[in-house]
Structure 1
Amino acid sequence: MKNIRIVFLTSLTKEQIQDKPSNFAYYVKNMLSDKRLDVRLLNLRNVVTKKGIRGVWQLVNAINNEKPDIVYLTGLMGLNHLVICHALKFLRCKIFTWKYTFCATGRNKVVHFILKNIYWKNISRIYMAYDRHTEKALQDGIVKPNQIITLSRGVEYQWYEKFIDKSTKDNDFTVVATGKDNRDYDTLCAACEKAQVKCYVYTRKHDSCLKAAKKFANSKYCKIVFMEDLHVTDEYEYIMQQVGKANVLAICCTDVPYGVGYTNVVEGLPYCIPILITSNPNAHLDVEKEGIGYNIALYDIDDWAAKLKYLKEHPEVRTKMANNVERLIKSEWNDSVTSSFIINDMLKNKDL
């Protein structure tokens, strides 16, 4: 079998990809080390210098010049034109992509016809993040079963071990929250004050985050830290180091029609600490079902406070949840399982 050539659209260099955990760059780190694959990195900023149709044409030509079998995408946002180019036979390779939202079906009959009979047919493989989204796409008949699958985003847990600080966990019960999009830090901080537990939030200066920081500026228990103010060399590693000091990871979110906070959950697994997250019916990994945390209703300050206080007062529960997390990451939820599936999928791409 000849090597399968993969073009991965990214702004990262090979060195940057190899320096981070495999889940950070969608398992390309593992693909680069697999001799059966010929992985080429393509930076959009380097090849697209024009706007509109001319920019699209530049990108399509840059991909075609690599003569790939597959172009591998972390998502379709901003790249829908590649699917159209494939339908028009301008893009001469298969498209494999991840997707975190529902597959659009169209608001009228004409758009629905185009999406069902042209657009979605020109994507060979869709790795969905959430089961409900996969089921809906199949029910709507806009994709076939061999085009789509829900794929767990396993984590390279060994990479994170250097950030786990066990000494701080024993000194003071601490909650850490990270993330910037669709976060509800107002509810989280109010709950932490009510439960009287320390909470550190690491985020960016979105309007809602700024309002929460102003509201809880004088809080005895909560501190909201903006990454823009720190000027750290590597934000990702800095944040992962802060999570390593926590007893609990909190992912408090607003109401959105997809599984918000999923990346946070995945990156929290290596620390083997309880994960508290706002309930979302789209979630692929149910922390409560797996016994690694609790789902909490939207904007429920009382329940957040109760769960945090309970975990603070019951270290044996935290230990039990830690053991359950360890079981998960050593079975399905690790990068070896996920990357092996993707690589084997790619090797069989001619049959898709």
Structure 2
Amino acid sequence: MATGSVAFPSALLLYGACTLERKGHHVIYHHPVYRAQRWRIALDTLKALWRRRKEYDIVYATTFRGLELLVFLRALRLFPRPIVCWHHQPIVKAKQPLRELVARLFYKGFDELCFFSQSLVDVSLQSVKAPVGHMHVVPWGADLEWYDRLRTENPVGRRHGFVSTGKERRDMPTLVKALAACPQEELDIYICRESLGINYERLFEQLRPSANVHVHFVQGDVIRSTALKVWQSQGAVICCLPTNYTTGLTTVVEAMALGVPVVCTVNRQMPMDIGKERMGLVVNVGDVSGWSKAITYLSAHPDEAAAFGHNGRRLAETMYNEKQCAAVAETILRKALKG
């Protein structure tokens, strides 16, 4: 087996590969070299996986980014190994006819596709090129043992403040305005300087956050350090811009693993219903007043907030965890191998 991920202090971003290895599957981790040009990443990946094609039986990829050339070869039946890949966004029809034609060929190169939620699959089914019968919802979640060690090694007394982590499509103007309206609450934001075309450093200079908002720019491997901040907080906040995919899901499943309540922007693509599961509060996109009220409410009701956290943790234990992810992924991989 080959996979498109690298080692992390938690197995969260390895999509079940760690458990698959513990279950006796030989896993070869491919670590793509970062390059500015996407086509060069794809070429490097093609060379690396083609050279070693006799050493593995199947390609299990966490994203098709960098895998494009290999997928096209598989579509043309020039690559001998099946490809199982995670698809982070819904499959949609291209606006340009030529791009749609190329995309239809491209999707023939996937033997099986994994999605984070049924909603993503349902939207994808509206596309002609969607591989019907080869799309699967997999319960992606955290390595609970890793987070349990972090909790045990760092006992928490009184929780203080709220924490925002993550970088994709974060709605910082809404969040900053919301905190200005509740100056008694503290918020720490851990974010990179730029992501997906948003320059957060410049944005915060323009926003001029109030004194109760503390912005920390991070880089490199900060999974453990930011997870610790979430664990010590009153709640994790995930304030996002509107998207067609599961923006903020990583932060949500991490909070679930830690047993911390969440306040999250409404996102129909999420695999779990945060409000229905009573693991936190949800706020409409861009609703400044709603965010202020939600944060103030959690702060004023610590017992209910703790219950939200317990509910999230229970859901993580029963469904959204690395072992469950690996079990479902293993079934899909076996299906792909059988052809």
Stretch of structure 1 that moved more, 56-65 or 183-192: 56-65
Alignment partner of 2:311 out of 321, 324, 334: 324
Q: What is the TM-score with the length of structure 1 in the denominator? A: 0.85
Structure 1, unpaired ranges of 5+ = 1-5
**Change over 3 Å in CA distance of 1:163–1:149 after alignment to 2:** same
The aligned runs of 1:191-270 (5 Å cut-off) are 191-195=178-182, 196-206=184-194, 207-215=198-206, 219-228=210-219, 234-270=221-257
* CA distance 1:218–1:94, shift in 2 (3 Å): closer
Shift of 1:139: 3.2
Q: Deviations over 1:73-119 (max 9, x none)?
A: 11112322211111233321000101111214333555434433x32
* Structure 1 residue 26 displacement after superposition: 1.5
**Which amino acid in 2 is paired with 1:190?**
K
Q: Which protein shows a greater Rg?
A: 1
User: How has the CA–CA distance of structure 1 residues 87 and 191 changed in structure 2, closer, same or farther, with 3 Å as cutoff?
Assistant: same
- Displacement of 1:342 after TM fit? 0.9
Among 12, 22, 42, the alignment partner of 1:23 is: 12
State the SS of the aligned residue for 2:240. Answer: coil
Per the alignment, residue 176 of structure 1 pairs with: 163
Could you tell me how far apart the structure 2 residues matched to 1:52 and 1:201 are?
31
Gap change, CA 1:45 and 1:215, over 3 Å in 2: closer
Q: Please give the alpha-carbon distance, in whole angstroms, between the structure 1 residues aligned to 2:98 and 2:81.
A: 27
Q: Which amino acid aligns with 1:198?
A: E
In structure 2, do the counterparts of structure 1 residues 307 and 64 end up closer, same or farther at CA, with 3 Å as the change threshold?
A: same
User: Kindly, what percent of the aligned residue pairs are identical?
Assistant: 19
- Normalized per residue, the structure richer in helix is 1
Equivalenced residue count is 329
Shift of the alpha carbon at 1:208? 4.4
Taking structure 1 as reference, are residues 39 and 307 closer, same or farther at Cα in structure 2, changes over 3 Å only? same
Show CA shifts across 1:185-218 (max 9, x none). 2221221231220000111112542245335657
* CA RMSD, 1 decimal: 2.5
Contact kept, 8 Å, 1:247 with 1:273, in 2: the verdict is yes
Is this contact kept in 2: 1:249–1:268, CA < 8 A?
yes
Which runs of 5 or more structure 2 residues have no equivalent in the other structure?
Answer: none
Aligned to 2:3: 8
Aligned with 2:30 (options 23, 35, 42) = 42
CA contact (8 A) 2:274 2:282 kept: yes
Separation in structure 2 between the aligned mates of residue 328 and residue 260 of structure 1, nearest angstrom: 19
**With CA pairs under 8 Å and 6+ residues apart, which has the higher RCO, 1 or 2?**
2
SS in 1 for 2:84: strand
Q: For 1:149-175, what per-residue CA distance to the aligned partner results, in whole angstroms no more than 9, with x for missing partners?
A: 12121222221124345535x253x10
Moved over 6 A (4+): none
Distance 1:171 1:58, change over 3 A: closer
After TM superposition, list the pairs within 5 Å mapping 1:1-352 onto structure 2.
6-10=1-5, 12=6, 16-17=7-8, 20-35=9-24, 37-45=25-33, 51=40, 55=44, 58-66=47-55, 68-109=56-97, 111-116=99-104, 118-164=105-151, 165=154, 167-168=156-157, 170=158, 172=160, 174-195=161-182, 196-206=184-194, 207-215=198-206, 219-228=210-219, 234-352=221-339
Three-state SS of the structure 2 residue aligned to 1:38 is coil
TM-score if structure 2 supplies the norm length? 0.88
Structure 1 residues 54-82: Cα deviation after superposition (integer angstroms, max 9, x where no partner): 6565245224242x221111111232221
- The alpha-carbon distance between structure 1 residues 350 and 201, as it changes in their structure 2 partners (threshold 3 A), is same
Distance 2:246 2:209 in 1: 32
Equivalent-residue separation in structure 2 for 1:53 and 1:210 (angstroms): 30
Between the aligned partners of 2:233 and 2:109, the Cα distance in structure 1 is: 45
